[in-house]
Structure 1
Amino acid sequence: MAKDKSGFIIAAAFIGPGTITTASVAGADFGFHLVWALLFSVVATIVLQDMAVRLGVTTGEGLSANLKSLVTRNWLRWLFSALIVAAIGIGNAAYESGNLTGAAIGLNSFLDIGVGSWAVVLGGLAAVLLWSGHYQLIESVLVWLVFAMAAVFLLTLAVSQPNLGELLYQLTHPRLDDASITPILALIGTTIVPYNLFLHASLVARHHTPGNTAEAISECRRQSAQAISLGGFITVVVVATASMAFYKQAIELDASNMGQQLAPVLGDWAQWFFAAGLFAAGLTSAITAPLAGAYAVCGALNQPSDLRSAPFRLVWMSIIGVGVAIAAAGFKPIVAILFAQATNGLLLPIIAVFLLLVMNRNQQLGPFRNGPFSNLLGTLVVGFILLLASYKLWQLFST
């Protein structure tokens, strides 16, 4: 297997404006009372991404193609393909709107032409980068900007000298009530990103060559765990800084003042730095989301997954187009981003259930099929998310 760098791409997809915004809102509104949901999400992500890695390396195919192998009748395969296209298409379009909205908020802080207008510009830029196929260097620069922003969050946390006793108290007194269901689902949706399962499986499958499968899986697992753990740590730090700046304070967090949580270190520059970070995180994720969607849909429809093939380009262009339309429609920025994350939380159980099925039924996996422990962890993850999602849907339709 050729040198695999998929873990870094997953990290780029993982740290988006949705993560930063959702974590900021959770910290501002609930302090550390919802960090339990984030810790659960990090563990769950590691469990599910591990399955995607084993599947892609062992079979040499993406998740869509493997999911279709669950059924043998042609009409069922077409139905399954339609479900994959609908689930990933809807989820990624919602996620793309959040990515573009977050990046647009950042740019609008520098030049106020409206979040919707910036979303159109950014959607066009993402489309140009994907069309060219030469976006790796730009993506790498943006990823470094995101991690630089994370370093400033960490420095802010240290300089602010948080009340660790109070944070620990809030962490050990978790909240799970009607008011917290949506932000909990948003935290889950921004951490356990459904499209990352398709993206990771497809990326490791592309690098798959006959050889030492066990060694290749071990390397991919290591990268995946590192990227997810780092993303989770960064998210916890963002929750902490937002909690100190806004929780139980007279000021209320909104799109115009989120950067104030960095003021203890950056002072008057805080809002500008936060804006630059949102732009970097948003554009990076605005590239990876349609890329993952194209892999998933093309795999489901037996179309080539080459970056320059017409079907592949049509899919990612559609996702960007819908994302731009939603982002430019005039929704409140933070509401739009939270909606995107909560939508991912609702769609996740569907994808995770089918992933569990294929990890147990696919004979190609051999010794890398799910064992009892993986099945237990996966079932617990899916069961809990299903419970939350079902309750949220009941809330929506009972009001």
Structure 2
Amino acid sequence: MSWRKYIGPGPIVAAAFIGPGTVTVCTLAGVNFGFDLLWAMALSVIATIVLQEMAARIGLVTQKGLASVISETLQKGILRYFSIFLVMIVIVLGNAAYEAGNISGGALGAELFVKTPIWNLGKLQLNILNLIIGSLALILLLTGSYKTISTYLTGLVILMSIAFLGTAVWSKPNFLELLSGFQPTVNAENIFTIVALIGTTVVPYNLFLHSSLISQKWKTIQDLKYIRVDTLIAVILGGLVSMAIIITAKAGSATEVNSAVDLAIGLEPLMGKMAKYFMAFGLFAAGITSAITSPLAGSLVVAGSFGLSTDLKSLPMRISIMGILGLGIVFSSLGIKPIQLILFAQLANGVLLPLLSGYILWLVNKKSVMGTHTNRLGMNVLAFAIWLITLLLGGMSVWKVLGS
């Protein structure tokens, strides 16, 4: 069997997995706590694999996206309208906030290579790089197919992974000290960073994105084994890249880090000028790949919730893509600090993630939806434990944002 049979939307999932927000959170984890929180990233990877597998299985069996299945299953009553409203508001506005962070983060990485002017238009500060990154994402989304997007993202994800993993190896970490980071430790100082690491890994819009794209590649339940391999590779690769950023951040000499750009500059005394450019390219690639996947996921949710076409060339998809991308460019041009945008997106995640993971667990055990392909007991125990974690994560994320 050709190896291509095993490759589906995994590269798109991996591209959505690693964005500037993830890079920044992992950087702060490494600078502030060294290797101590590698266990939290490993836990996040396990949770993501379980949730993504269930979402993908729902997509395979129903040949529909998660938004469509939720909309069709909850056919009447206040719960239906509340669920659709909450998903729409949180995903669309949350993705617009993420998109602003993606565009701004990609521009920050690119600025270490090139300097461009900033135009002041009233309250807007238009960075040429923001417009370039937003335009590239829009062109690919409007003129390409899902296959074309996957091809470009596969190349960018490979280059991004080489940049981050290569820099981590280059930093020559102490192997025994690194292994000690997989021993769980929780205290008052690191709890919010743990929440942020899990929150930036288990991303709600990725579940919608994955389930919607499954039917573009696979049609029968016999393809489930290919889906599981594709999912495992994508999520584990994303987890390894995140861990590489933590490892690299621990090696850097920066004492105050507000973004991955500070880390890139802080690496220069230890590892030379090339390390700075490796990190900068990784941040740029993370920004532009997520700038493509975020509006794609949001538009799939919009179209799926109202039973509209999810073809990339359809009018509903194009209007939704341009709307989310446009909001992202506007938000990134308002002078709002990226951390504020990330806080808003975390709040959106905190509200949606426990609800969405609960829906997934309910749907994947509903025989009228899944037939004979419902969860087994062991999978349900693991999934329920993860749901409890997402509930705790959601509550803590909301508390953290409201408290700040």
Partner of 2:277: 272
Residue 199 (1) aligns with residue 209 (2)? yes
Question: Any idea what the Cα deviations from partners look like across 1:217-266, whole Å, max 9, x if unmatched?
Answer: 111111101111111111111101101214xx6x3223442214654886
Aligned-pair distance for 1:113? 3.0
Q: Which structure 2 segments of 5+ residues have no match? A: 119-124
Q: Is the 8 A contact 1:53 1:200 kept in 2?
A: yes
What are the residue-to-residue correspondences of 1:145-224 with 2, within 5 Å? 145-172=156-183, 174-177=185-188, 179-209=189-219, 211=220, 213=221, 215-224=222-231
1:302 matched to 2:307? yes
Select between 67-76 and 348-357 the one with higher mean Cα deviation.
Answer: 67-76
Which AA in structure 2 matches 1:189?
Answer: G
- Pick the aligned partner of 1:79 from 82, 94, 97: 82
Q: 1:315 aligns with which of 315, 320, 325?
A: 320
Which of these residues, 325, 330, 338, is aligned with residue 330 of structure 2?
A: 325
Query: 1:286 and 1:157, CA in 2 relative to 1: closer, same or farther beyond 3 A?
Result: closer
Aligned to 1:284: 289
Sort the Cα spacing of 1:63 and 1:383 in 2 relative to 1 into closer, same or farther, 3 A: same
Q: Which moved more, 1:54-63 or 1:146-155?
A: 146-155
| Paired residue type of 1:151 | I
| Secondary structure of 2:199 counterpart | helix
Cα separation, 2, equivalents of 1:48 and 1:264: 41
Is the Cα–Cα contact under 8 Å of residues 356 and 378 in structure 1 kept in the other structure? yes
SS at 2:224's partner residue? helix
- Corresponding residue number in structure 2 for 1:232: 239
Q: Which moved more, 1:43-52 or 1:185-194?
A: 185-194
What is the aligned counterpart of 2:394 among 372, 379, 389?
A: 389
**Which of 382, 387, 397 is 1:377 aligned to?**
382
Query: Is residue 10–residue 227 contact of structure 1 (8 Å, CA) maintained in 2?
Result: yes
Structure 1 stretch displaced more, 152-161 or 376-385: 152-161
| Aligned CA distance change for structure 1 residues 337 and 104 (closer, same or farther; 3 Å) | farther
Deviation at 1:42, TM superposition (A): 0.2
Q: Does 1:356 align with 2:367?
A: no
Residues 185 and 339 (structure 1), Cα distance of their counterparts in 2 relative to 1, 3 Å cut = farther
Q: Partner residue of 1:92?
A: 95
Counterparts in 2 of 1:60 and 1:285: CA distance versus 1, 3 Å: same
Residue type matched to 1:295 in 2? L
What is the alpha-carbon distance in structure 2 between the residues aligned to residue 398 and residue 14 of structure 1? 27
SS at match of 2:197: helix
Query: Could you tell me which amino acid in structure 1 is paired with residue 29 of structure 2?
Result: A
Task: Work out which of the residue numbers 34, 39, 42 in structure 1 matches 2:37.
Answer: 34
Distance 1:308-1:328 versus aligned 2 partners, 3 A rule: same
Report the Cα offset of residue 139 of structure 1: 6.0
Displacement of 1:61: 1.1
SS across alignment from 2:36? coil
> Which residue pairs with 1:11 in the alignment?
14
Contact kept, 8 Å, 1:45 with 1:191, in 2: the verdict is yes
Task: Report the alpha carbon displacement of residue 120 of structure 1 after superposing the two structures with TM.
Answer: 3.3
* 1:111 corresponds to 2:110: no
What letter matches 2:136 in structure 1? L
Give me the CA root mean square deviation: 2.7
User: Would you say the 8 A contact 1:186–1:342 is kept in 2?
Assistant: no
Change (3 A) 1:393 1:137: closer
Number of equivalent positions: 391
| SS at 1:304 equivalent | coil
Aligned pair in 2 of structure 1 residues 176, 121: CA closer, same or farther (>3 Å)? farther
Matched, 1:48 2:51: yes
The equivalent of 1:254 in structure 2 is: 258
Cα distance change of structure 1 residues 170 and 11 upon mapping to structure 2, 3 Å threshold = closer
Larger mean CA deviation between 131-140 and 87-96 belongs to 131-140
What is the identity, as a one-letter code, of the residue corresponding to 2:33?
F
What is the CA deviation profile of residues 249-308 of structure 1, one whole-angstrom value per residue up to 9, with x for unaligned ones?
A: 6x3223442214654886223333322222222111111111111111111111111111
**Alignment-mate amino acid for residue 241 of structure 1:** T
Change beyond 3 A, Cα 1:332–1:76: closer
Secondary structure, aligned partner of 2:73: coil
Paired AA for residue 111 in structure 1 = K
- C-alpha displacement at 1:89, in angstroms? 1.2
Question: Are the aligned partners of 2:206 and 2:297 in contact in 1 as well (CA < 8 Å)?
Answer: yes
Tell me the CA shift for residue 106 of structure 1. 1.5
Offset of 1:116 from its aligned partner?
5.1
Q: Secondary structure at the match of 2:74?
A: coil
Q: Does 1:366 align with 2:377?
A: no
How far 1:189 moved relative to its partner?
Answer: 2.5
Using a 3 Å threshold, how does the CA distance of structure 1 residues 18 and 139 change in structure 2: closer, same or farther?
Answer: farther
Please give the alpha-carbon distance, in whole angstroms, between the structure 1 residues aligned to 2:351 and 2:78.
26
**Structure-2 separation of matches of 1:51 and 1:135:** 22
Give the structure-1-normalised TM-score: 0.88
State the distance in 1 between where 2:343 and 2:35 align.
Answer: 18
In structure 2, C-alpha distance between the alignment counterparts of 1:134 and 1:361, rounded to whole Å = 33
- What displacement does 1:124 show? 2.8
What percentage of aligned pairs have identical amino acids?
A: 39
- Distance (Å, rounded) in 2 between the aligned partners of 1:185 and 1:92: 19
1:147-185, CA deviations, whole angstroms, 9 ceiling, x for partnerless residues? 3343343333334332233334444252342x4344323
